[in-house]
Amino acid sequence: MGEVLVLVDHVDGAVRKPTLELLTLARRIGEPVAVHLGPGADTAAATLGEYGASTVHAADAPEFADYLVVPQVDALEQVAKAVNPVAVLLPSSGEAKEVAARLALRLGSGLITDAVDLEAGAEGPVATQSVFAAGFTVRSRVSRGTPVITVKPNSATPEPAPVSATVQPLKVLFGSAATGTKIVSRTPREDTGRPELTEAAIVVSGGRGVNGAENFAVIEALADELGAAVGASRAAVDAGWYPHTNQVGQTGKTVSPQLYIAAGISGAIQHRAGMQTSKTIVAVNKDAEAPIFDLVDYGVVGDLFQVLPQLTDEVKARKG
């Protein structure tokens, strides 16, 4: 079996969950080999080995932190040309998608973005994508070069397959384009202590019906009782009630949790695009005609300020 390069998504060596999903999927089509860029490769190696990566190509250089996208492309291109993998897998973040695209172009390879599933096929890996606001499922494949595929979070359950990982230091020769876009400064996001939106098993989202930033406390209270992440519709974000990083939908995050609870959200097509593939969907809305009710497993027509606190108390009571 050939090797499958997996770009590691990490914060200073703390490997993020989508990478474990990528390693799990990579094992279906070949032998996973990790590429770790930036600090912390030795810390990461233990986790990467746990999920089946026997080799970790690791490079650290100031370029990765100081310049946008291209340094990572240079590094991956170098590894890809040395290893000649059967596929390259990356997470579907805005940044990794850009890395994937430029890499694919340099390798003369086709690109598939936002896969939600991946399996081996007679003519190479077959990717499943969810398109047109999750109204359709498409199966596609790369027909030229080394398939470069980005995969959405929550597309697979991480399965351990322990091996001992060897870290192979990589010296990257950066091209002249690498320093084109300077990252002048960086403000890290505040940690809310809640689960990551795209990784959470449960998401509780609020929309225009929440009617004010301070009222999001009602959404947060339920989320915390359920151990859930908090989401918001674009209407709530545009009104300034909740940060854009929490927006669910076409121009926000795509979530696919076990349970999605929508409160005060009408269910516009652009919102559905980001949550339609959730396993169980629940809505609370005072308008019985709201399109969100077409999607629900369970819906309550009512005032969210009555229903949610009661639900939160009841969940607390049942847990206790």
Partner 1 sequence: MSLRIVVCVKYVPDATGDRHFAEDHTTDRDAVDGLLSELDEYAVEQALQIKEANDDVEITVLTMGGDDAKDALRKALSMGADKAAHVNDEALHGTDVMGTSLVLAKAVEQIGYDLVLCGMSSTDGVMGVLPALLAERLGVPQVTLLSEVSVADGTVNGRRDGDTASQRLSAALPAVASVTDQSGEARYPSFKGIMAAKKKPVLALDLSDLGIDPADVGLAGAWSAVDEVAERPARTAGTVVKDEGEGGRQLAAFLAERRFV
Ligand X SMILES: Cc1cc2nc3c(=O)[nH]c(=O)nc-3n(C[C@H](O)[C@H](O)[C@H](O)COP(=O)(O)OP(=O)(O)OC[C@H]3O[C@@H](n4cnc5c(N)ncnc54)[C@H](O)[C@@H]3O)c2cc1C
- Binding residues vs ligand X (CB under 6 A): 207-209, 233-236, 247-252, 264-266, 268, 270-271, 274, 284-287, 290, 303-305
Q: Which amino acid is at 213?
A: A
Check binding of 315 to partner 1 (CB under 8 A): yes
C-alpha gyration radius of the chain = 21
Instruction: Give the one entry of ligand X, partner 1, none that residue 233 binds, where binding means its C-beta sits below a cut-off of 5 to 8 angstroms depending on kind.
Output: ligand X
d(CA 293, CA 140): 32
154 is in an annotated binding site: no
Instruction: Give the one entry of partner 1, ligand X, none that residue 35 binds, where binding means its C-beta sits below a cut-off of 5 to 8 angstroms depending on kind.
Output: none
Q: Considering the complex, state which of residue 86 and residue 284 has its C-beta at the smaller distance from ligand X.
A: 284
183 is in an annotated binding site: no
Exactly one of 145, 162, 169, 240 binds partner 1 (CB under 8 A); that residue is 145
Instruction: Give the one entry of ligand X, partner 1, none that residue 265 binds, where binding means its C-beta sits below a cut-off of 5 to 8 angstroms depending on kind.
Output: ligand X
Closest approach of partner 1 to the CB of residue 89, in Å: 15
Which two three-digit tokens encode residue 179? 């320093």
CB neighbours of 121 closer than 8 A, spacing ≥ 6?
141
Instruction: Give the one entry of partner 1, ligand X, none that residue 14 binds, where binding means its C-beta sits below a cut-off of 5 to 8 angstroms depending on kind.
Output: none
The residue written with tokens 């490079």 in the block is 59
249 is in an annotated binding site: yes
102 is in an annotated binding site: no
Task: Find the distance separating the first CA and the last CA of the chain, reported in whole Å.
Answer: 51
Angle at 148 between CA 146 and CA 154, to 5 degrees: 140
Instruction: Give the one entry of ligand X, partner 1, none that residue 305 binds, where binding means its C-beta sits below a cut-off of 5 to 8 angstroms depending on kind.
Output: ligand X
- Closest C-alpha among 133, 141, 91 to residue 111: 141
Instruction: Give the one entry of partner 1, ligand X, none that residue 236 binds, where binding means its C-beta sits below a cut-off of 5 to 8 angstroms depending on kind.
Output: ligand X
d(CA 248, CA 197): 9
265 is in an annotated binding site: yes
**What letter would DSSP give residue 241?**
S
Q: Considering the complex, state which of residue 53 and residue 273 has its C-beta at the smaller distance from ligand X.
A: 273
Closest approach of ligand X to the CB of residue 130, in Å: 15
* Torsions phi, psi for 57 (to 5 deg): -80, 120
Residue ranges in 236-255 that form contacts with partner 1 under rule CB under 8 A:
244-245, 250-251
Q: Which amino acid is at 98?
A: E
Exactly one of 6, 76, 126, 223 binds partner 1 (CB under 8 A); that residue is 126
Residues 206 and 242 sit within 8 Å (Cβ to Cβ): yes
- Closest C-alpha among 175, 105, 125 to residue 5: 125
84 is in an annotated binding site: no
Exactly one of 37, 44, 226, 275 binds partner 1 (CB under 8 A); that residue is 226
Exactly one of 101, 161, 163, 167 binds partner 1 (CB under 8 A); that residue is 101
Q: Considering the complex, state which of residue 100 and residue 219 has its C-beta at the smaller distance from partner 1.
A: 100
Exactly one of 181, 212, 217, 287 binds partner 1 (CB under 8 A); that residue is 181
Exactly one of 43, 54, 93, 168 binds partner 1 (CB under 8 A); that residue is 93
Closest approach of ligand X to the CB of residue 289, in Å: 8
d(CA 304, CA 85): 52
208 is in an annotated binding site: yes
The residue written with tokens 């809640």 in the block is 194
Angle at 313 between CA 307 and CA 314, to 5 degrees: 85
* Torsions phi, psi for 261 (to 5 deg): -115, 120
Instruction: Please report, in range form, the residues annotated as the binding site.
Output: 208, 233-234, 247-251, 264-271, 285
